[in-house]
């Protein structure tokens, strides 16, 4: 509750769902996610939480692959400095769970891509 109130005090917009569910991240559709990443001008982090097998078909350009089951062990690879963090999976369910986990670990500026990878309207590439 304190972190939600801090977001309000900082002027960050909250949705009714965020307040009702105590949700410290924002669900975003593809166009809004693309806008957030574009406006950050390279100062955002995109995390793909799918398995390596799932990413064989492609990833969001510039995304860091950290499969969901490795998030706890690799969270130090994720910046926690206030820059936007876009988390996505195949459909949006696993990424929502990762957003919840990271929020409990103290991460801010979390965004869950509703619809997952296929909802991303921006450039897509191959994993490196």
| Residues involved in catalysis | 89
Report the C-alpha gap between 93 and 31 in whole angstroms. Answer: 18
Could you give the CA distance from residue 84 to residue 105 in angstroms, rounded to a whole number?
16
Query: In the numeric block, which tokens belong to residue 128?
Result: 């490196």
Number of H helices, E strands in the chain: 6, 7
């Amino acid at each position: 509750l304190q972190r939600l109130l801090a977001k309000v005090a900082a002027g960050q917009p909250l949705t009714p769902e965020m307040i009702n569910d105590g949700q410290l991240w924002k669900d975003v559709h593809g166009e809004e996610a693309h806008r957030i990443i574009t406006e950050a001008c390279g100062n955002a982090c995109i995390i793909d939480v799918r398995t390596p097998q799932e990413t064989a078909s492609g990833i969001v350009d510039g995304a860091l692959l950290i499969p969901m089951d490795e998030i706890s062990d690799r969270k130090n690879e994720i910046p926690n400095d206030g820059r936007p963090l876009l988390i996505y999976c195949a459909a949006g369910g696993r990424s929502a769970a990762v957003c919840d986990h990271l929020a409990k670990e103290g991460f801010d500026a979390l965004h869950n891509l509703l619809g997952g990878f296929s909802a991303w309207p921006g450039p897509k590439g191959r994993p490196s």
